[in-house]
Amino acid sequence: MIDIKSFNKVLKSTWVKKYLDNDNHGKWKLLFDSELRDLGGDVIFKGNLNKIDLAKFVHISDAFTTEILKIWSEISYDSNITSTKNLLSLPLWQNSLNKPIYYKSWSSKGIQNVRHLMKDADNFLSFTELKERFDVKTNFLVYHGLVSCIKSLRNAIENENEKKTQNFQYFL
What proportion of the chain, given as a percentage, has pLDDT over 90? 53
Which tens digits make up the pLDDT trace of 20-65? 999 999 998 998 899 998 888 899 999 999 999 999 988 888 898 9
* Long-range CB contacts for residues 100-106, cutoff 8 Å, separation at least 24: 100/47, 100/49, 100/53, 100/57, 100/58, 101/146, 102/39, 102/40, 102/43, 102/44, 103/138, 103/142, 104/40, 105/136, 105/137, 105/138, 106/134, 106/136, 106/138
Give the pLDDT confidence score for residue 3 in this predicted structure. Answer: 86
pLDDT value at residue 86: 87
